[in-house]
Amino acid sequence: MTARLSRPERRALQRADEALLSLPLVLNGDPRPVAAHIRHIVHLLRDPQANSPCSAAVAHITGLFDRSVPPTPAAPLACRKGCSHCCVQMVVLTAPEAFFVAAQLRKRPKTVAAIVEANSRAQGLTLHERLHSKIWCPLLEDAICSVYAARPLACHGFVSLNLEACLAAFERGAPPDIPTPQLNVTTLETCRMLYMAALRLAGLPDAAYEMNEVLATIFATDKAEARWLAGENILAGVPAKAPPPPQYDKAIAELAAFVAPTV
Ligand code: SF4
């Protein structure tokens, strides 16, 4: 697919996309649903009428992930409402995911202060030191995620088949070795890749950051999301986490190149 589409072709493609967008993603090698979601996310990120284009784009990708993993996996999950042992880990997320979280906190100054405080406590700590410092996610309230529907993609994807493995890692300091259904891992990777391809096609950075650190900067920046979407590098002072490995990066670039003529 190299030539740009004519207007009638574009309309036909839009109609075909609409039929695919609400379906779960089936990992069967069919590129059409993947391309449809990429085009839709680019469209959401570029929507000038939206209050928060980033929230709309991230809600779409996390919704896609949630409906694409089986509600009752072959082996039952150990995760339960009120079980939050894993919410002591460092959360890594992209800027649009952070804008989505930040949009939930506009009227919650205590939570904003708790995020800024958690960010200061974590400064200078290694990953290992941070895990053992027990810096709980400041978004937890009574052991429940207070931004559950808007939680980052990594949090959507983090599930466990074994409570004892979580207790060993997060309460007793053993190296984390949490069993997770393979379908969740593969679906999360696919959703993340198509979301990253959409960011690139929208001309936006796909860098990832530590959650409290990037949120503290967003709270301190006037009109942060609008300025970031307009291309201003408002997150220049926030260290980016390691970029995707080369093989993964190449797959994202190939996906973006495949969809580019139709965006
Ligand atoms: S955002 Fe929610 S799910 Fe993620 S670590 Fe924080 S409290 Fe837990």
Q: Atom of ligand 1 at shortest distance to CA of 154?
A: 4
The residue nearest atom 2 of ligand 1, judged by CA position, is 145
Q: Does residue 114 have its Cβ closer than 6 Å to ligand 1?
A: no
What local confidence, expressed as pLDDT, does residue 163 receive? 97
What local confidence, expressed as pLDDT, does residue 129 receive? 86
Evaluate whether residue 1 is within a structural domain.
Answer: no
> What is the average pLDDT across 3-27?
91
Q: Atom of ligand 1 at shortest distance to CA of 140?
A: 7
Does residue 3 have a pLDDT over 70? no
Q: Which among 3-12, 97-106, 130-139, 237-246 has the top mean pLDDT?
A: 97-106
Q: Does residue 154 have its Cβ closer than 6 Å to ligand 1?
A: no
Q: Atom of ligand 1 at shortest distance to CA of 84?
A: 8
Within 13 Å and on the Cβ side, how many CA atoms surround 148?
10
The residue nearest atom 1 of ligand 1, judged by CA position, is 151
pLDDT band at 53, cuts 50/70/90?
very high
Evaluate whether residue 45 is within a structural domain.
Answer: yes
Q: Does residue 260 have its Cβ closer than 6 Å to ligand 1?
A: no
CA distances from 46 to 41, 62, 65, 113, 182 (A): 9, 18, 22, 31, 33
**How many structural domains is the chain composed of?**
1
Distance 137 CA to ligand 1 centre (A): 6
What local confidence, expressed as pLDDT, does residue 131 receive? 79
Evaluate whether residue 242 is within a structural domain.
Answer: yes
Q: Atom of ligand 1 at shortest distance to CA of 139?
A: 7
Residue 145 bridge partners (DSSP):
140
Determine whether 243 is exposed, middle or buried from the number of CB atoms within 10 Å of its CB (0-12, 13-18, 19+). exposed
- pLDDT tens string 61-73: 999 999 999 877 7
- pLDDT tens string 95-117: 999 999 999 998 999 999 999 99
Mean pLDDT, rounded, of the chain: 94
Range of the domain at 110: 7-262
Q: Does residue 151 have its Cβ closer than 6 Å to ligand 1?
A: yes
Residue type, 166: C
> What is the average pLDDT across 32-55?
97
Evaluate whether residue 64 is within a structural domain.
Answer: yes
What local confidence, expressed as pLDDT, does residue 1 receive? 47
- pLDDT tens string 159-176: 999 999 999 999 998 999
Evaluate whether residue 83 is within a structural domain.
Answer: yes
Lowest-confidence range among 57-61, 125-129, 211-215?
125-129
Evaluate whether residue 202 is within a structural domain.
Answer: yes
Distance 155 CA to ligand 1 centre (A): 6
